[in-house]
Amino acid sequence: MGIPGGQSPFFHVKPRVKQHWLVIAVSLAAYLVDNSVLAQSASGLDPSSHPVDQASKRRKASDRAEKLRIGLATSPRAPAPAPNPGAPFEKRARADRATQTRTQKRVDPFARYDNLREKGVWFNIPGAVDTIDQDKGGLRSALADVGIGYIGWTHNSFANNLLPNAARSTIANQLYMGQNPTFASANFMIVTYDLSRLGVSEGQIVLGAEQQHWTWDRPGPDRVGLNTLAYYQTFFDKTLELKLGYLRNQNEFTGTLFGGITGSNMSALFQGGMSTNAAPTPAVNLKYNFDRGLYNKASVQRSISPDGPYVQVTENPTGLNWSTPHAGILLIDEAGYKSKAAPGVPDTWLRAGVGFNTSRYTSLTDPKRRRESGNNFHYIAADRQFWQNAPDGTPSRGIYAASPSWKLRRT
């Protein structure tokens, strides 16, 4: 048995028993200590090796350790750990990049309310982010959690003819808005319920109320009543859209908001029987969406009074009556192309429509004649965006040009 250091073991047994056992104990202790040191120096090597010569064992252990160090230093797969003074900066940079990525993917907190806007109308109802209250107090989010959305707005106008020779008149004899100082106010509240929670594809129930006031009674009159009560649903992956109930088709067809309030307007279509915000009527609308923005939309609507919106509101101020005297059925069909604004893609809307009304109208040439049916109208309109203010932010903002044209004919 070898002893490290090249020394050979020497046992000298003396006749005395105590010395004999002392020598054996010292030799055994030295052997155990040397083996422990050797095992620690060769840590990580093959533990099954058991060389005879201790010096040879030390040399082999040293050679293997050296080869191991060289292999670790030259292997690209397992680089030796070494202190890196730039590590804290690299970790910080990675953390900043991760934070930036999370910020870019952050969801718009108001996007959850988009599906709660009224569906089927041609204009974009302002979203929650564009309202005054937004989600103050958590009311909007609490209602959205149970599928309810809402929007309220007020529309106010004032007109006055400032020309020096403007003819004034009494209120009873006023002929147009602004002939005398004229103020008008219309206030709406619309509530929606999301039926997709119940498995109805894109389904929605819409309930709205309207209040209006005019200082000149003729365009009015004052009223508080129903604005809309509608059911909406899509079929075949939004290819077909159905909307029925008490509708105001001025927001479903043609594409203008003026509606006889001020200046040049679509009052000819109202004379043709189309329902308005102040005069909703029972209707069924069906829209078929072709590829590439082409569509066709048809409606079977109970006409408003053939004597005009004023008589309609006077005879049915709440809007809940099924019909008014002399009112018939209005059939509308509109075909068009619509492409919403996107970054670098301008908003475009081209449409043309026709309407046929079975209501019994008074003859314009001879008011004493018996009422007759057979009123119809047609229209063509185009809207085109020519410049985008913020293509990457809100591409719908910009400069537009519009060219509406409609014609009413009584037979």
**Where is the domain boundary, 48, 78, 106?**
106
In angstroms, the CA 191 to CA 229 distance is 10
pLDDT reading at 7 higher than 80: no
Say which residue the tokens 């903002």 belong to: 397
380 and 271, same domain (yes or no): yes
The verdict on 284 and 397 lying in the same domain is yes
Per-residue pLDDT reduced to its tens digit, 132-182: 888 888 999 999 999 999 999 999 999 998 888 777 777 678 888 888 889
In this structure, are 99 and 227 located in the same domain?
no
Give me the residue label for tokens 């043609």: 254
Residues 309, 205 share a domain? yes
Is 56 a residue whose pLDDT tops 80? no
Q: Give tens-digit pLDDT for 283-335.
A: 999 999 998 899 999 999 999 999 988 999 999 999 999 999 999 999 999 99
pLDDT at 265: 52
Could you tell me which residue, 228 or 180, shows the higher pLDDT? Answer: 228
Residue 206 is predicted with a pLDDT of 97
Percent of the chain with pLDDT over 90: 43
75: domain range? 1-106
Q: Which residue has the higher pLDDT, 367 or 345?
A: 345
Which positions ≥6 away from 106 have C-beta within 8 Å? none
Residue 305's pLDDT is what?
95
Judged against a pLDDT cut of 80, whether residue 368 lies above it is answered with yes
Q: Which residues pair with 383 in a beta bridge?
A: 349, 402
Q: For the chain, give the mean pLDDT.
A: 78
Q: Examine the pLDDT at 269 and tell me if it is beyond 60.
A: yes
Predicted local confidence at residue 93, as pLDDT: 57
Confidence of residue 192 (pLDDT cuts 50, 70, 90): very high
With respect to residue 136, please indicate whether it lies within any of the assigned structural domains. no
- Does a structural domain hold residue 209? yes
Indicate if the pLDDT at residue 4 is higher than 60: no
pLDDT class of 254 with cuts at 50, 70, 90: confident
One domain for residues 88 and 225: no
More confident residue, 123 or 29: 123
Pair 236, 385 in one domain: yes
Domain annotation covers residue 127 = no
Alpha carbons 277 and 236: distance in angstroms, whole number: 30
For residues 73 and 207, state if they share a domain.
no
* Shared domain check, 198 and 100: no
Residue 304 vs residues 250, 308, 309, 370: alpha-carbon distances, Å: 12, 7, 7, 19
Determine, yes or no, domain membership for 242: yes
Domain presence at residue 309: yes
* Of the residues 106, 135, 150, the one at which a domain ends: 106
Confirm whether 210 is domain-assigned. yes
Residues 218 and 363 in one domain: yes
98-133, pLDDT tens digit by residue?
Answer: 555 554 556 678 888 888 999 999 887 888 888 888
What pLDDT does residue 17 have? Answer: 44
12 pLDDT exceeds 90? Answer: no
Q: How far is CA 222 from CA 180, 210, 213, 314, 354, in A?
A: 18, 10, 5, 9, 31
Domain match, 102 and 200 both? no
Task: Check whether residue 201 and residue 93 sit in a common domain.
Answer: no
Last residue in a domain, options 74, 91, 106:
106
Do the domain assignments include residue 140?
no
pLDDT, residue 14, reads 45
> How far apart are alpha carbons 215 and 180 in whole angstroms?
10
Q: Identify the band that residue 45 occupies on the pLDDT scale cut at 50, 70 and 90.
A: very low
When divided into structural domains, the chain yields a total of 2
Is the domain of 99 the same as that of 201? Answer: no
**What is the per-residue pLDDT for 325?**
94
H or E segment and range at residue 396: strand 394-402
